[in-house]
Structure 1
Amino acid sequence: MHESGEDYLETIYILKKRNGSVRSVDVANELNFSRPSVSRAVGILKEDGYLTVGEDGELVLTKLGTEKAKNVYDRHTSLTKFLMLTAGVDEQTAETDACRIEHIISASTFAGIKKYIKENSK
């Protein structure tokens, strides 16, 4: 999956947690993307089995989509914590950098980071 697909899934996951339901317009507003761009991405994610679209336009992550979104969200939040803890950067900088790193980090490096956070967080 491409980085943009992961970003869409993560955004849908976060909006679902925050608002209870998600529509394409919510994703467009959150990401500051055009509605046609979101519509195209939703179509691809739907074709690939990551989400369904209800009759009312609600975006619903499938089991596969939820697992992928949770994984990306975990990487994002863990990397943000790690960067703040080790590099001493502010939360906004850590968030921005984590968003870039989360798509390319290896599983073994990420496991090491999670272990470090667990052992060094208070």
Structure 2
Amino acid sequence: MYESRENYLETILILQSENGSVRSIDIAKKLDFSKPSVSRAVAILKNDKYIDIDEKGYIKLTSKGEEKAKSIYERHRLLTKFFVETAKVEKAIAEEDACRIEHIISDETFQGIKEFLKDVSK
């Protein structure tokens, strides 16, 4: 899956948890994207069965979409934590870097970081 689509899914998950409901305009505001760009991405995600859209325009993650979004968001949170706590990086920079890296890091490396953080927390 493309990084941009993963970002949309992650954003939908976050907005859903913050607001309870999500519409395309909410995504456009959160990401500072144009409405046509968001409409195109939403159509692709719907076509690929990652989201459903009801008759009022509310967007909901499908189980497939929720699984993918939670996976990306977990990577984002744990990588940010790793950069802040282990590498002593400023939180804003850690967030930005995590956002880029979460899409390309291998499962093996991510699992290693996850285990490392688990061991350090003990």
In the superposition, the TM-score normalised over structure 1's length comes to 0.98
Unpaired runs of 5+ residues, structure 1, are none
Matched residue, 1:71: 71
Which amino acid in structure 2 is aligned with residue 48 of structure 1? D
Matched residue, 2:109: 109
Unpaired runs of 5+ residues, structure 2, are none
Q: Does 1:6 align with 2:6?
A: yes
Matched residue, 1:26: 26
Specify the SS of the correspondent of 2:86: helix
Matched residue, 1:40: 40
Could you report, residue by residue, the CA deviation over 1:32-88 in whole angstroms, capped at 9, with x for unpaired residues? 000000000000000001001111110010000000000000000000000111210
Partners of 2:26 and 2:121 lie apart in 1 by: 34
In the superposition, the TM-score normalised over structure 2's length comes to 0.98
Partners of 1:19 and 1:54 lie apart in 2 by: 17
Specify the SS of the correspondent of 1:87: coil
Partners of 1:42 and 1:72 lie apart in 2 by: 18
Partners of 1:72 and 1:49 lie apart in 2 by: 17
Which amino acid in structure 2 is aligned with residue 39 of structure 1? S
Aligned length: 122
Matched residue, 1:53: 53
Partners of 2:14 and 2:46 lie apart in 1 by: 18
Specify the SS of the correspondent of 1:22: coil
> What root-mean-square deviation, in Å, do the aligned CA atoms of Structure 1 and Structure 2 show?
0.8
Which amino acid in structure 1 is aligned with residue 12 of structure 2? I
What's the CA shift for 1:90?
Answer: 1.1
What's the CA shift for 1:121?
Answer: 3.1
Could you report, residue by residue, the CA deviation over 1:79-107 in whole angstroms, capped at 9, with x for unpaired residues? 00001112101111000000000000000
Partners of 1:78 and 1:71 lie apart in 2 by: 11
Partners of 1:55 and 1:121 lie apart in 2 by: 46
